[in-house]
Amino acid sequence: MHDRVQTQILEIPSASPAGPHVMRVQQAGDPSSDRVVVCVHGLTRVSDDFLPLAARLVSLGFRVLMPDVVGRGRSDWLSAPEHYHFGQYAADVAQMARLLQLPAVSWVGTSMGGLMAMLVAGHPQREAFFAGLTIKRLVLNDAGARLAGEALDRIGRYVGESPTFGTLEEGRAIVRSRLTTFGPHAEADWNFLADVALRPNPDGTWRLHYDPAIAAPFKAALLAANGPTPDADFWPLYDAIQCPTLLLRGKESDLLPASVALEMTQRGPRASLTEFPEVGHAPTLIAEDQIRSVLDFLAAD
């Protein structure tokens, strides 16, 4: 079992063009610490994914903020699905930084959370769109400057599904079947990863934690390709990043090709690269070697 960490839920009022919403954020550690780490999850995951990492960060004196990106976990659902996109997500985190008056932060982003960081750190008008949020150290967890189209197509086939599970055990089995690319885990860790992604219904059944409509813009982009899904290119954002960057990659990742990871060490912020054997997309930051790689990088600050 991993160390437990006590958290409190912060409510961050924000807005999309369709109206107001609230992003809820788990906070761990000393709120007065100026060593702040923002941890942002992947497309269909939740803030709880980072609890094992947060426990270790708190023990080193960090304040850890873990948002549930809007449409997921404890956060509100948007009334207009077309606003489920990276720009909105990053704007919500910038709103958090302004309201909490955060200093420059370290950012750990898994997949989608890493792409959000690229947008914040590399946008040519970042001061206009993301004022108040400055990233001083960046961990990109299986988030590449180019994403493989075949992997995006794979993700598009399941994101947005809204099945109902008769029991928690049934839900665990289905969620676990979708997480095989995460690599080997102990049984307790599999249950943890499944349980944080499930929510009870009033009738005793279970469902996934997210608004199925988060898939709408994603699927629309895939349909617009009108053929094989093309690779997604984030090189212009990545090349503009100026802070120290660590790139984590599952050696079996189908989303972040090895050739792209290598190129990311040679251009832009020239990221340091750490790869994990027997892991695909994406490392869960639960295994000791994965946690240690993050701690060593952030502790260098």
CATH of the domain at 59: 3.40.50.1820
Q: How many CB atoms lie within 10 A of CB 26?
A: 23
Q: Which domain holds residue 254?
A: 7-153+233-299
- Reported as a single tens digit per residue, the pLDDT across 82-111 is 999 999 999 999 999 999 999 999 999 999
Asked, for residue 269, whether it belongs to a domain, the answer is yes
**Band of pLDDT at residue 223, cut at 50, 70 and 90:** low
Asked, for residue 272, whether it belongs to a domain, the answer is yes
Asked, for residue 107, whether it belongs to a domain, the answer is yes
Alpha helices in the chain (DSSP H): 51-59, 86-99, 112-122, 126-129, 149-156, 168-178, 187-195, 215-224, 235-240, 258-264, 288-299
* Strands 164-165, 198-200: pairing kind: unpaired
Asked, for residue 117, whether it belongs to a domain, the answer is yes
- Mean pLDDT for 32-48 is 96
pTM of the model: 0.95
Q: Which two tokens stand for residue 159?
A: 């994101």
Asked, for residue 122, whether it belongs to a domain, the answer is yes
Counted domains in the chain: 1
Asked, for residue 68, whether it belongs to a domain, the answer is yes
Q: What is the pLDDT of residue 4?
A: 78
Closest CA to 281 of 111, 82, 97: 111
